């Protein structure tokens, strides 16, 4: 099967064309060694089926970004039968710059002139015949969005002759220099000698690695800097040709639609408030259980009756008829937001499956341990993870819309100033803020960051932006503190913990960017694409990709790990099955007791006496999903008799009982215990995220960085927990921590302004 | 009269005279069409004063002031 490569600038409609060409046959993988999407698919509409490879969007073939290196190597090494170069007709000048480079390769090229309809709408005309003649390759008019002209494009592409000699637009200005360089490559018998020769004259790093290349360059250029000359010549050629092919009807209107939108969205004063409002609505529509505050802003203002109050449902969580269950998906004492509605739907569906299977097994006479393993262990684990999916996808949908409309680039533009201080670019903001929703889409979103070190640093701190599933831990423990000791305010504690997470992230980024992930702040030279409406089909294909990835992970690594933890918590050392109520005799409980002393510096270790292991176990089960932390507390509180009664979902009462029983047992002082509990929240917030997030981070991080990342999470959470406990429990260590923090901060600042270079000092000593 | 692009006020335009800077940044500027001879208009500054947005070769480009300092423009 013939292979065609799709090449072009970012934002020129390349992905739309790819989707139009390949439809359902498309699949996404990774280019070897880097986290850049590789899309492949088959075009079946022509005389023969052809393979289409979508190269990443690029502006040039210089070797500075991974995208450019990938595209270049693919064309040179994999030798596709031809290149389909998609060119945005509304911005011919910059788009043809890449074309002039592609033409230098010995490979057939066809130009797909996209968005011709928009050009015509604005009254301009492009003389396609003249363009074809000037470039010497076929040019086909298309509209990828409307799918017009696509078949003609492919018919002509398939009919292209198999061989083509590279041509260059630089012949006039650099003839002599090119001759010398070409002669060198011709003698070496490389493919596409002209392309290599031009790249060599551009001082290309990859070309200079070749033996004898440096000498040839010196001979050809006579020490002159040709890089600027070449870029200039390309544009000069394009302008000269443009004059004849592009006929402008009237002088451009003063303000395009895009400019008008931009005047508000990047306004000097309004830009940031508008952005905050947009962000608020994204999160509100995804996570809120009170759509648009229809049910009032506070609980006291709530006026909507619940389904039980309306007499429709018999009792909460009880057996109801199916119609009421469906109604409860949308409304139950409050109107849910779209994200929550989808979650409820999926959970309703999954619950019925799980109940059905468990009932079937019980009726079939299966042993208690078997129904437990299948119902709670396997199905419970998988469904808990799949339950995240609707909200992850909703969040993704919103962010995809922001990306596709061009708003995301403006956000980076607005916020770059702040992020540069931490050695990141404005682009790093989005993944971080998404972390408040869920670490998984946030981690995947780091792909928009071009710099590898910047991406690694961002992936590592994403879990510190406390995700939706960690909120129950905060509210339960904070609620427990308030209820048991009668001090403080649960909301204030929760809010402070969020702040703590952000501060930890900032400190860690600063530290990493100055030590292990040291590097220059990546440059920020970026196109601000014109605003346009996103295509529905593109959005859906995008979401479908994410769903596939996520489900695959849910059924492999997460599946295995949930079963292991379930087994540990339901097996005694004699390999006998233990029901939920006896979890305190399980292997997991003994493991918890064993590692309990490890947490002593954090305050929730040995100090808490014979019941303290509950905290260690909760931290472990939290690895599956952070929801499990509170679930474990409620189960174990019942087991050890800290709480008698029916379990509650929030877990505040169970925790209060647990706090009371431990205080009675050990006589620990109130101040120490509060410090320990807050250290516990902080530890859970900054430690290893759930299995699903770990699996994602593993896939997104560069090779070999994942193990260190896990170590980083463990160390950070341990240190943060220890600081909180020691500062909270005693007064005297405060001074020590203050000195340590001040020393680190001074070190970082000095290094930032270049006054202090540890490598230099070290070298001087050696001498 | 020439001055570096980072000193431009919103609305000012000019023709690029020279592009300096270290290899990677200079190359990136060239690839985005910031070459000697090109005409540009400074559009606006970001709300926090940096980066800036310019119009060049029929599209919008954003770059930081530190990078804009590499671009010498003739008024």
A228/B38 CB distance under 8 A: no
Q: What is the pLDDT of residue A754?
A: 58
Q: What is the pLDDT of residue A92?
A: 87
Tally of CB atoms within 10 A around A602: 25
Is residue B11 classed as helix, strand or coil in its secondary structure?
A: coil
Structure tokens at A662: 């431990």
Higher pLDDT, A342 or A555: A342
Which of the 8 DSSP states describes residue A55?
P
Q: Which long-range contacts (CB under 8 A, 24 or more apart) does A470-475 make?
A: A470/A626, A470/A684, A470/A685, A472/A626, A472/A627, A472/A629, A472/A630, A472/A650, A472/A651, A473/A622, A473/A626, A473/A629, A473/A630, A473/A681, A473/A684, A473/A685, A474/A498, A474/A681, A474/A685, A475/A650, A475/A652
Residues of chain B with Cβ-Cβ distance to A413 below 8 Å are: 46, 51, 53, 62
Q: Residue B42 — pLDDT band, cuts 50, 70, 90?
A: very high
> Which residue matches tokens 């682009």?
A427
Q: For chain B, how many residues are written?
A: 75
Q: What is the pLDDT of residue A624?
A: 74
* B3–chain A nearest CA distance, Å: 19
> B2-63: which CATH architecture?
Roll (2.30)
Is residue A109 classed as helix, strand or coil in its secondary structure?
A: strand
- Residue B24's nearest CA partner among A424, A527, A94, A63 is A63
* A398–chain B nearest CA distance, Å: 24
The CB-side HSE value for A640 (13 A sphere, CA atoms) comes to 24
Chain B residue with minimum CA distance to A62: B27
Residues of chain B with Cβ-Cβ distance to A235 below 8 Å are: 33, 35, 37-38, 57
A414/B47 CB distance under 8 A: yes
Is the separation of the CB atoms in A227 and B27 below 8 Å?
yes
B46/A413 CB distance under 8 A: yes
- Can you tell me the mean pLDDT for A492-519? 86
B27/A530 CB distance under 8 A: no
Q: Which helix or strand (DSSP H or E) is residue A116 part of?
A: helix A116-121
* B64–chain A nearest CA distance, Å: 6
Which of A64, A173, A417, A529 is the best residue to mutate to test the B interface, defined by the most B CB atoms within 10 Å of its own CB?
A417
Question: How buried is residue B51: exposed, middle or buried, by Cβ count under 10 Å (0-12/13-18/19+)?
Answer: buried
Chain A residue with minimum CA distance to B46: A414
Report the sign of the C-alpha dihedral through residues A583, A586, A587, A592, in that order. positive
> Which residue matches tokens 């780091």?
A446
Q: What is the pLDDT of residue A250?
A: 46
Report the sign of the C-alpha dihedral through residues A629, A635, A636, A641, in that order. positive
A524/B33 CB distance under 8 A: no
Whether the pLDDT of residue A449 is over 90: the answer is no
* pLDDT (tens digit per residue) in A8-44: 998 888 988 998 898 877 777 777 766 677 889 999 9
Tally of CB atoms within 10 A around A527: 19
Say what the ipTM of the complex is: 0.95
Q: How far is CA A251 from CA A114, A220, B55, in A?
A: 22, 44, 16
3-class DSSP string for A658-673: HHHHHHHHHCCCHHHH
Residues of chain B with Cβ-Cβ distance to A414 below 8 Å are: 46-48
Rounded to the nearest 5°, which phi and psi values hold at A82? -175, 165
A231/B31 CB distance under 8 A: yes
* pLDDT (tens digit per residue) in A520-549: 777 888 899 888 888 888 888 878 877 887
Nearest to B60 among A93, A416, A528 (CB): A528
Is the separation of the CB atoms in B43 and B55 below 8 Å?
yes
Structure tokens at A120: 């015509």
The CB-side HSE value for A67 (13 A sphere, CA atoms) comes to 18
Which of A59, A270, A413 is the best residue to mutate to test the B interface, defined by the most B CB atoms within 10 Å of its own CB?
A413
Residues of chain A with Cβ-Cβ distance to B19 below 8 Å are: 228
Which of A240, A525, A530 is the best residue to mutate to test the B interface, defined by the most B CB atoms within 10 Å of its own CB?
A525
- The terminus-to-terminus CA distance of chain B in angstroms comes to 6
Q: Kindly list the residues of chain A whose beta carbon comes within 8 Å of any beta carbon in chain B.
A: 59-60, 62, 64, 90-91, 93-94, 97, 203, 227-228, 231-232, 235-236, 266-269, 271-272, 409, 413-414, 416-418, 420, 523-530
CA distance A679 to A723: 8
Q: What is the pLDDT of residue A251?
A: 44
Nearest to B61 among A231, A272, A528 (CB): A528
Please name the residues in contact with A158: beta carbons below 8 A apart, sequence gap of 6 or more: A2, A46, A47, A48, A50
Q: Kindly list the residues of chain B whose beta carbon comes within 8 Å of any beta carbon in chain A.
A: 19, 23-33, 35-38, 44-51, 53, 57-64, 67
CA distance A219 to A576: 81
Q: Which helix or strand (DSSP H or E) is residue A56 part of?
A: none
Is the separation of the CB atoms in A600 and A606 below 8 Å?
yes
* Of the candidate ranges A16-30, A67-81, A501-515, the one whose mean pLDDT is the lowest: A16-30
Residues of chain B with Cβ-Cβ distance to A231 below 8 Å are: 30-31, 35
* pLDDT (tens digit per residue) in A55-64: 988 999 987 7
Which of the 8 DSSP states describes residue B70?
T
CA angle A673, A675, A681 (to 5 degrees): 105
Question: How buried is residue B75: exposed, middle or buried, by Cβ count under 10 Å (0-12/13-18/19+)?
Answer: exposed
CA angle A287, A292, A294 (to 5 degrees): 120
* pLDDT (tens digit per residue) in A611-626: 888 888 888 888 777 8
Chain B residue with minimum CA distance to A91: B58
B48/A91 CB distance under 8 A: no
* B65–chain A nearest CA distance, Å: 10
A527/B59 CB distance under 8 A: yes
Q: Residue A738 — pLDDT band, cuts 50, 70, 90?
A: confident
Is residue A758 classed as helix, strand or coil in its secondary structure?
A: helix
- Can you tell me the mean pLDDT for A631-659? 75
Which of B5, B22, B23, B28 is the best residue to mutate to test the A interface, defined by the most A CB atoms within 10 Å of its own CB?
B28
Which of the 8 DSSP states describes residue A335?
B
Chain B residue with minimum CA distance to A418: B48
B60/A527 CB distance under 8 A: yes
Higher pLDDT, A208 or A112: A112
Which of B35, B45, B68 is the best residue to mutate to test the A interface, defined by the most A CB atoms within 10 Å of its own CB?
B35
Chain A residue with minimum CA distance to B18: A228
Nearest to A523 among B33, B47, B67 (CB): B67
Higher pLDDT, B10 or A243: B10
Q: For chain A, how many residues are written?
A: 767
Q: Residue B4 — pLDDT band, cuts 50, 70, 90?
A: very high
* Of the candidate ranges A131-145, A151-165, A514-528, A627-641, the one whose mean pLDDT is the lowest: A627-641
Q: How far is CA A324 from CA A331, A346, A387, in A?
A: 10, 16, 21
Q: How do beta strands B13-19 and A2-8 pair?
A: unpaired
Structure tokens at A45: 């509409």
The CB-side HSE value for A501 (13 A sphere, CA atoms) comes to 27
* pLDDT (tens digit per residue) in A250-278: 445 456 788 888 888 988 889 989 988 99
Whether the pLDDT of residue A763 is over 60: the answer is no
| For chain B, the helix, strand and coil percentages under 3-state DSSP, each to the nearest 5 | 20, 40, 35
Q: What is the pLDDT of residue A83?
A: 95
Residues of chain A with Cβ-Cβ distance to B26 below 8 Å are: 227
Mean pLDDT of chain A: 83
Please name the residues in contact with A755: beta carbons below 8 A apart, sequence gap of 6 or more: none
- Can you tell me the mean pLDDT for A162-172? 85
* B62–chain A nearest CA distance, Å: 5
CA angle B59, B63, B67 (to 5 degrees): 130
Chain B residue with minimum CA distance to A239: B57
* A752–chain B nearest CA distance, Å: 16
Q: What is the pLDDT of residue A486?
A: 80
A527/B61 CB distance under 8 A: yes
Rounded to the nearest 5°, which phi and psi values hold at A148? -90, 145
Q: Express as a percent the part of chain A with pLDDT over 90.
A: 17
The CB-side HSE value for A356 (13 A sphere, CA atoms) comes to 6
- Residue A50's nearest CA partner among A13, A16, A25 is A25
* pLDDT (tens digit per residue) in A296-321: 776 677 788 888 778 777 655 556 67
Please give the radius of gyration of chain B, using alpha carbons only, rounded to the nearest integer. 11
Q: How far is CA A483 from CA A190, A607, A655, A658, A662, in A?
A: 77, 21, 9, 12, 15
Q: Residue A210 — pLDDT band, cuts 50, 70, 90?
A: confident
- Beta partners for residue A251, in sequence order: none
Nearest to B47 among A60, A272, A420 (CB): A272
B28/A525 CB distance under 8 A: yes
Q: Express as a percent the part of chain A with pLDDT over 70.
A: 92
A416/B46 CB distance under 8 A: yes
- Can you tell me the mean pLDDT for A101-110? 94
Chain B residue with minimum CA distance to A63: B24
Q: What is the pLDDT of residue A187?
A: 85
Chain A residue with minimum CA distance to B48: A417
CA distance A735 to A748: 20
- Residue A210's nearest CA partner among A220, A200, A218, A201 is A200
Structure tokens at A596: 């309990």
- Can you tell me the mean pLDDT for B6-15? 93
């Amino acid at each position: 099967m013939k292979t065609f490569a799709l090449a072009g600038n970012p934002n020129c409609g390349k992905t739309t064309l790819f989707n139009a060409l390949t439809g359902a046959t498309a699949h996404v993988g990774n280019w070897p060694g880097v986290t850049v999407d590789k899309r492949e698919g088959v075009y079946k509409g022509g005389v023969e089926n052809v393979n289409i490879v979508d190269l990443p969007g690029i502006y040039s073939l210089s070797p500075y970004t991974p995208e450019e290196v990938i595209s270049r190597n693919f064309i040179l090494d994999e030798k596709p039968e031809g290149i389909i170069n998609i060119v945005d007709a509304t911005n011919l000048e910059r788009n043809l710059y890449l074309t002039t480079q592609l033409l230098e390769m010995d490979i057939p090229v066809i130009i797909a002139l996209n968005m011709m309809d928009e050009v015509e709408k604005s009254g301009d005309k492009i003389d396609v015949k003249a363009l074809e003649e000037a470039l010497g390759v076929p040019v086909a008019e298309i509209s990828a969005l409307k799918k017009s002209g696509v078949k003609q494009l492919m018919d002509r592409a398939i009919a292209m002759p198999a061989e083509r000699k590279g041509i260059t637009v630089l012949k006039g200005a650099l003839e002599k220099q090119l001759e010398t360089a070409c002669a060198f490559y011709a003698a070496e018998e490389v493919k596409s000698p002209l392309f290599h020769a031009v790249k060599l004259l551009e001082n290309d790093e990859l070309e200079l690695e070749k033996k004898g290349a440096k000498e040839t360059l010196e001979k050809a250029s006579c020490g002159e800097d040709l890089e600027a000359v070449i870029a200039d010549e390309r544009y000069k050629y394009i302008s000269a040709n443009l004059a004849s092919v592009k006929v402008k009807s009237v002088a451009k209107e003063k303000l395009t639609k895009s400019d008008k939108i931009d005047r508000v969205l990047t306004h000097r004063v309004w830009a940031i408030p508008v952005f905050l409002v947009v962000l608020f609505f994204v999160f509100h529509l995804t996570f809120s259980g009170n759509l648009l505050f229809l049910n009032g802003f506070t609980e006291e203002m709530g006026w909507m009756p619940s389904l039980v109050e309306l007499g429709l449902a018999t009792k909460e969580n009880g057996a109801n008829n199916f119609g009421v269950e469906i109604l409860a998906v949308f409304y139950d004492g409050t109107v849910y937001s779209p994200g929550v509605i989808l979650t409820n739907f999926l959970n309703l569906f999954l619950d019925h499956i799980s109940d059905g299977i468990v009932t079937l097994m019980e009726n079939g006479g299966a042993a208690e341990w078997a129904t437990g393993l299948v119902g709670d262990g396997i199905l419970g684990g998988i469904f808990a993870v799949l339950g995240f999916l609707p909200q992850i996808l909703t969040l993704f949908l919103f962010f995809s819309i922001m990306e596709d409309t061009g708003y995301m680039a403006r956000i980076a533009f607005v916020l770059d100033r702040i992020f540069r201080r931490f050695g990141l670019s404005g682009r790093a903001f989005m993944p971080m803020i998404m972390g408040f929703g869920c670490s998984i889409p946030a981690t995947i979103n780091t792909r928009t960051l071009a710099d590898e070190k910047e991406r690694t640093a961002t992936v590592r701190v994403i879990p510190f932006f406390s995700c939706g599933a960690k909120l129950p831990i905060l509210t339960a423990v904070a609620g427990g503190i308030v209820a048991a000791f009668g001090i403080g305010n649960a909301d204030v504690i929760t809010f402070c913990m969020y702040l703590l997470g952000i501060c930890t992230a900032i400190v860690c980024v600063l530290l990493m960017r100055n030590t292990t992930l040291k590097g220059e702040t990546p440059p920020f030279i970026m196109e601000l694409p014109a605003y346009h409406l996103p295509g529905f089909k593109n959005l859906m294909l995008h979401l479908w990709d994410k769903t596939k990835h996520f489900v695959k992970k849910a059924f492999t690594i997460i599946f295995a790990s949930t079963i292991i933890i379930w087994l540990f918590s339901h097996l005694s050392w004699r390999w006998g099955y233990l029901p939920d109520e006896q979890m305190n005799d399980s292997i997991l409980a003994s493991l918890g007791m064993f590692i309990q002393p490890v947490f002593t510096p954090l305050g929730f270790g040995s100090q808490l006496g014979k019941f303290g292991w509950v905290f260690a176990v909760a931290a472990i089960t939290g690895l599956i999903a952070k929801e499990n932390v509170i679930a474990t507390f409620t189960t174990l509180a019942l087991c050890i008799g800290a709480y008698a009664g029916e379990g509650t979902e929030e877990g505040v009462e169970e925790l209060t009982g647990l706090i009371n029983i431990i205080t009675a047992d050990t006589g620990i002082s109130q101040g120490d215990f509060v410090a320990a509990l807050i250290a516990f929240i902080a530890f859970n917030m900054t430690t290893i995220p759930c299995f699903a997030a770990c699996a994602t981070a593993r896939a997104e991080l560069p090779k070999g960085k994942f193990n260190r990342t896990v170590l980083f999470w463990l160390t950070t959470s341990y240190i943060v927990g220890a600081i909180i406990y020691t500062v909270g429990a005693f007064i005297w260590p405060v001074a020590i921590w203050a000195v340590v923090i001040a020393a680190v901060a001074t070190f970082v600042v000095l290094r930032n302004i270049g006054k202090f270079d540890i490598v230099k000092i070290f070298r001087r000593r050696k001498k | 009269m020439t001055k570096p692009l980072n000193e431009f006020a919103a609305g000012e335009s000019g023709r690029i005279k020279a592009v300096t800077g270290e290899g990677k940044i200079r190359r990136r500027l060239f690839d985005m069409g910031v070459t000697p001879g090109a005409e540009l208009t400074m559009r606006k500054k970001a709300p926090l004063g940096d980066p800036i947005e310019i119009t060049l070769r029929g599209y919008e480009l954003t770059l930081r002031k530190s990078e804009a300092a590499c671009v010498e423009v003739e008024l």
